[in-house]
Amino acid sequence: MFRQAILSFAALTLFSSCSLAQLMNNNPLQRQSQQSSRLSGQDTFNSLSGTVRTSDNKPLKDVRVELRDAQTGSNVGSTYTSSSGTFEFPRINSGVYEVIATSGLEAAQERVEVHGMSSMVNLRMPVSSVATDGNGQNSISVAQYKVPEKAREELKKAKDASAKQKLDEAQKHIAKALEIYPKYADALTLRGILKLDAKDQDGAVADLQQALEYDSNDAMTYLVMGAALNMKGKYDDAIRALERGEALSPNSWQAYFEMSKSLVGKAQYEPALRQLDRAQALAPTEYPLIHLVRAHALLALNNYAEAMTELQAYLDKEPKGPNSQQAQKMLAQAKAFAASHPAK
């Protein structure tokens, strides 16, 4: 799957509906399972863990695993497999359950009886073809197995061209990849990113929506979608996309950064600051735009002193960046406000 930072968005206009930023870094996204519901009201709990693998014993990530009561058919909980193909339901009652793994049109199911502190189940999906996502990952999503190798090669060429800012060449390779395999979600996601960079927000959203139809378990596509919707000022829609991406990739700093921009757009500044704290804690290296977005939230809260500190931190990192002129104006305004409203 496409996991690399290859493009920077054009600008960051904090006081308008557009809020643009670099979205991705050079490391693969880490995905971890998230349990969505649990039983409550009982005194004794057991755990059920398991794996989802292909018929040739390859781990599958981002597969939805549902736990149902075998007697009533009611949903007990659901989660997603981690990058190693594992999942867990840590607090369930003793009983008989149906464990159902689904991804797209593929499914695997097994009945298990839970009586004791922990139980284990191993599911095999009816997929056996060998594939790679090009990033050295040990597991990939089910949708990736259906992509022909020639299409993968074209996408790799597109990513290489994009990294060198040869965007016309990248577009040609993307077109070839989609000609070979029209349902190639990664290719559509990359094309969406290129359209965002060209300020074609509607075209980007259309490509990203199509990508999610073909692979609804790709965290990166949700994060890019969130960024695109932020740019369009559709903050509630952006939050929904980012929450899904965050569930699939809880250690992704980009999800929290984009979420902070959504919240700033909704004038929810305190929650935005908390999201920025999480983004900064998870980012592999310092990301200057975190300082700029935090400064905007702090200015809105009339916290001029801390806002000036954040603006100066941004300018120290990017003295001639695309947003530096705006940051300098914000800093001058913050100093003027602070001088006219001295702390008591």
Q: What is the pLDDT of residues 60-109, one digit of tens each?
A: 887 888 999 988 888 888 888 887 889 999 888 889 999 998 875 567 88
Closest to 125 in 3D by CA, of 43, 217, 48, 6: 217
Task: Give the pLDDT of residue 195.
Answer: 95
Look at the pTM and tell me if it is higher than 0.75. Answer: no
- How far apart CA 137 and CA 158 sit, in angstroms, is 19
Task: For each of the domains in the chain, give its residue range(s) and CATH number, in order of start.
Answer: 46-125 (2.60.40.10)
- How far apart CA 74 and CA 227 sit, in angstroms, is 36
Those residues whose C-beta lies under 8 Å from the C-beta of residue 247, and which sit 6 or more positions away, are 34, 36, 80
DSSP-derived pairing of the beta strands 118-125 and 46-54: parallel
Residue 46 β-bridge partners: 92
Question: How many CB atoms are located within 10 Å of the residue 307 CB?
Answer: 26
Residues of the chain with pLDDT under 50: 1-43, 129-139
> What amino acid occupies position 101?
A
Kindly report the backbone phi and psi dihedral angles of residue 123, in degrees, each rounded to the nearest multiple of 5, phi listed first. -110, 145
- Residue 77 and residue 63 in contact, taking contact as beta carbons nearer than 8 Å: no
140 is written with which tokens?
Answer: 């990939």
* Average pLDDT of the chain to the nearest whole number: 81
